[in-house]
Structure 1
């Protein structure tokens, strides 16, 4: 849950600008994690339920905001590029350039599904745009997949906020559990990777 001041800022932005304000907040959440969409979107839905915002406008503007935010991160990935990414990754302990190559192979096989479904997974919603940029996924394809995935996610949360009305904050509680599961899974995978890499490194030293 975002802090009260941040929540008030988003609410004020929507009050002042209406649906475009919701779109701006959604664009910013791609770049600033303290502004999660699972709070912004239900709040927009609540605003729709009170008549402060039009439903169709809210859906269109928030989806446009999601695409703009994703494009910014896609641009960051394109700027980094393959060679710069490998150079940066090679400086990270226990990570090798071959890991980047394996990731590239995986993304080339599953990139379209990753971009589409990734828009519906906390944490990965924003991050998936970076490898798409690094691998230079065709921009029309990226825009299409991002728009569709974002539209589904945004619609679900705006409608939930609309249905719950003043109880819109309950949505954040449900998603918080989902987010913790995702983060926990990622941390376990990271620990498994580190352990496996350390064991492999020690075995190589013993053989040497």
Structure 2
């Protein structure tokens, strides 16, 4: 059985449910590759041999994001900031003091816009819901920013990837595979650069947090 046959055997409903579930769990505050799931599903939808609708992919991602963020908001509002302290001890790579401090800084500066744009940023995509609840952001404002961000992120990402997938065959017929490899490497390089910048900001904030802890301990 070749790859094409395997892909054709996947029920479209399973793809929609998987996308919604993965993105919903990620939005709830559990680190999962939501963006990868969405991009992969949108690419599958661009294949004319598969019966996967890009509209339903975007809808599943949007619904999962809104529901997941809402549950995360409820949990954050119920348990408050101590929740992040406990999570930071158990999962320092995702909920360390630097991660939370950076997210708080963005929330303090941008307010509800941090929820909207957080959908496009990996760090805030995980923390936005629980942190908004813990910081007592008014729910109507949170819901409006959450829903708007989810629609723009899910719909925009799905549309861009879908149409890029449709154009890929024509594009590859005109350019060599070398050009494709260069484009992929450039995209990966930009992603790594953004991650490195975020990592440096987190490290700086964690160092400041450690210094403050030490100063208060004296």
TM-score for both structures, normalised by structure 1: 0.66
Which aligned pairs between 1:8-27 and structure 2 lie closer than 5 A? 15-27=12-24
The secondary structure found in structure 2 opposite 1:128 is: helix
Contact between 2:22 and 2:34, CA under 8 Å: does it hold in 1? no
Which of 25, 33, 45 is the equivalent residue of 1:28?
25
Give the alignment partner of residue 38 of structure 2, picking from 36, 41, 51: 41
Unaligned runs of 5+ in 1: 1-10
Which piece of structure 1 moves more, 111-120 or 14-23?
Answer: 14-23
| Cα distance between partner residues in 2 of 1:106 and 1:35 | 22
Deviation of 1:28 (Å): 2.9
Once the two structures are superposed, residues 37-86 of structure 1 have per-residue CA deviations (whole angstroms, 9 ceiling, x without a partner) of: 1x21222222322352223222222100111121222122112225x359
Q: CA RMSD in A?
A: 4.2
Which residue in 2 is equivalent to 1:139?
139
Secondary structure of 1:70's counterpart equals helix
Q: Which runs of 5+ in 2 are unaligned?
A: 1-7, 90-96, 169-180
1:187 aligns with 2:184: no
Summarize the Cα distance change of 1:198–1:149 in structure 2 as closer, same or farther, 3 Å threshold: closer
What is the deviation of 1:115? Answer: 0.7
| Cα drift, residue 183 of structure 1 | 2.9
Inter-partner Cα distance in structure 2 for 1:17 and 1:68: 18
Instruction: Write the distance in 2 (CA, Å) between the matches of 1:86 and 1:66.
Output: 21
- For 1:111 and 1:44, the matched residues in 2 are separated by 32
- Measure, in 2, the Cα distance between the counterparts of 1:17 and 1:113: 33
Which residue number corresponds to residue 54 of structure 1?
53
Conserved? CA contact 1:13–1:21, under 8 Å: no
Q: Which string of whole-angstrom CA distances, capped at 9 and with x for unpartnered residues, describes residues 3-28 of structure 1? A: xxxxxxxx987634353443223223
Number of residue pairs matched?
189
Return the alpha-carbon distance in structure 2 between the equivalents of residues 184 and 104 of structure 1.
19
Q: Which moved more, 1:182-191 or 1:62-71?
A: 182-191
Q: 1:181 to 1:79 in 2, by over 3 A?
A: farther
Deviations 1:132-177 (A, max 9, x none): 010222222212111111211112321233123386xx99877654
1:65-121 superposed Cα distances (whole Å, 9 cap, x missing partner): 111121222122112225x359769x9xxx7xxx98xx8797355221111111111
Q: State TM-score, norm by structure 2.
A: 0.64
Q: Secondary structure at the match of 1:123?
A: helix
